[in-house]
Chains A and B, each alone.
Chain A
C-alpha cells in the first residue's frame, strides 16, 4: 500500500536498530578495557586501548587459532556438502518420478521436527564406537546434509527448472548426472548460495554437540568460548574479548552477504 511513513515509524525502527547493535558495542567496550576496569561495572563509554592485550591473553588461555581453523573447516565442509547433496535430493524430489517419492518426502519433512538433542546419546555411542569422538569428523558427519537443506532446494527447484528443459536434455541423450550438472546446477545457484550461507552460520554457531564431542585441546570457536568462561574468577574483559573475536568472522560474512540472507529468509517464508 502507498503509505508515507512518518517520524514515528522511523523513530521506532531506529530505536530497534540501536537495541540490535548496542550489545556488539558493549562487548567490544568491555573487551577494550583492562580486567580491573571491566570488573568495576560500567566502564568509560569510549573504548580503551587494551583490546589487543586482551586478545593475546585469549590466545594464551585457549587454543584460539586451532578453534578458528576447526570452525572454518567444519562449517565450510558442512555447508558445501549440504548444498551438493541437498541439490541432488531436492532435484529428485522436485522433478523426477520414482516409486515412494511422496512417502520419502514426507519423511524428510517429518525429520525437520525431530530435535537434535533427542539423538545425542546414540550419536555419542556411535561416534565412540567409530573412535571419532574428539575429532572434527564427529562434528562434520552428522551435518553432511540436513532435512532443511533437501526441503529448501526442493521448494526452489520445483519452479526454477522448467520440465521441458530437462526433457529436452534427456532426449538428446544426456545422462541424469549430466542433466544435474548442465541444467539443474546453474538454475539452482541463487538458492544454493543462500543455503550455503545459512548452513555455514548454523554450523558455526552450534554448541551442544561440539561441546559434548570435542576436548579442550581440539575445540570449535564456541567450545573455546565456553572454556574461556569457565574460569573460577570471572574476567569480563577477557571473556568479552573472546566473544567479540568469535563474532567477527560471521560479522564480516554478514556485511558481504547480508542482502542474500535477508532475501533468503523472506523467500523461504513465502515458499515454506
Chain B
C-alpha cells in the first residue's frame, strides 16, 4: 500500500512538510487572479464530492429498494394483471383474498417449519464446529477452507444434488437407510420429511460459513479468561459454556437475524426439489413456501396485486420474527449472565 499511495503525491508531500503548513497560502505572494477561482472550486469540490460518491448507491437503491417498497404497497391495493396492467383500486381486498386462500396458511407454516429446521441445528453445529476449529490445529487454513467448500455450490445446484440424494425410490439416503432396516422414507411427499430434506440443503451450504463467523468471534475472546478459568479447575466443556458462549452472543444475534431474513425468503431449494409438473411445492403444497406463493400469484395466476399483497405479508412476517429473535437472544443472554 504505502509506496503506491505516496508515489504520485510524494514530491508535493515533501514541499508541504518543508514549508510550514498553511503558511504558504493566505499571505503567499502568489498571482492574485487565479487563486479565488481555484479556492472556490476546491470548496465546491469538498462540499459536493461526498454526495457525488454516495449517490450511485442511493440511485440504485431508489430504483430497486425504496421505490419498490412503496410501489409494492401501491400495487397491492389495486387489481393488477401481469399482462393488462393496473385496474381498479380495491383497498385491502387482495390481502383478504390471500389470507383466505387455503394455501396461504399452509405455505406460512411450511416456511416457518423449514426455517426452524434449518436455523436451529445450523447455529448449534456451527458453534460446535467453530469450537473445534478454535484449537491449535495443524493445517489451520486447510481446515477452514474445507468447511467453506459447500458455499460455492448455488442453491439451485444444491437442490438438484440433494434432490437425488433424497430420492423417494432410488435415492442414496433411502438405500443407505434400507441397509440398516429402516423403510424407505417418502422425502418428496411426506410433509415433515420434505421439510427436513430442504432444511438439510440450507444447512449443508451455510453451516461452514457461519462456523467461520463464530470462529472469528471466539478468537477475539481474551485468552487470559481461559487461563484463569483453567487455574480454577474448570473443564474445557465448562469453559466453553461459561466463557465462550456468553462472549460470542452478539455474533450469534447477528447470525440469527441475517439467517432469518434470508431463510424466510427460501425459493430455489423447494422449487427445484419439486418433481411435480406444477412445481408449486409438492402435489399437496406440502413444502410450498411464501416466496413460491408470490411467484404463483404473480407469474402463474398473473395477478400482481395478490403477489404484492403476499410480498408485503412476507415482509411483515420477517420483521416480526427478526424482532422475536432479537428479544429472545437478549433474554437468553441475560439469564445466562445472572448465573
Contact = CB atoms under 8 A, between A and B. Distances in A.
A240 B160 contact: yes
Interface stretch (B45-53, B101-109, B116-124, B331-339): B45-53
Given A26-B161, A120-B294, A165-B5, A13 B275 contact: no
A225 B212 contact: no
B5 A187 contact: yes
A261 to B, nearest CB: 6
B218 to A, nearest CB: 10
Contact of A123 (B51, B64, B143, B295): B64
Nearest to B22: A171
Given A23-B165, A120-B298, A98 B154 contact: no
Contacts of B68: 118-123
Interface in B276-333: 277, 279, 291, 294-295, 298-299, 304, 307-308, 311-312, 314-315, 318-319, 322
A43 B45 CA distance: 67
Interface string A224-252: 01100110101010011011001100110
Chain A residues touching B, majority SS: helix
A125 B75 contact: yes
Chain B residues touching A, majority SS: helix
Contacts of A23: 150, 153, 158, 161-162, 165, 204
Most buried by A among B5, B66, B160, B214: B160
A259 B141 contact: yes
Interface in A242-272: 242-243, 246-247, 250-251, 253-254, 258-259, 261-262, 265-270, 272
A19 B205 CA distance: 11
Interface string A1-28: 1111100011011001101110110110
B18 to A, nearest CB: 12
B15 to A, nearest CB: 7
A1 B227 contact: yes
A261 B275 CA distance: 35
Interface string B146-158: 1111111111111
Interface in A116-155: 116-126, 141-142, 144-145, 147, 149-150
B223 A96 contact: no
A182 B154 contact: no
Number of chain B interface residues as a range: 35 or more
Contact of B63 (A108, A141, A149): A141
Contact of B164 (A3, A17, A98, A236): A236
A89 B53 contact: yes
B136 A2 contact: yes
B133 A108 contact: no
B265 A13 contact: no
Interface of A: 1-5, 9-10, 12-13, 16-17, 19-21, 23-24, 26-27, 30, 39-42, 85-86, 88-89, 91-93, 96-98, 101, 104, 107-108, 111, 113-126, 141-142, 144-145, 147, 149-150, 165, 168-177, 180, 182-183, 186-187, 189, 201, 204-205, 207-208, 212, 221-222, 225-226, 229-230, 232, 234, 236, 239-240, 242-243, 246-247, 250-251, 253-254, 258-259, 261-262, 265-270, 272
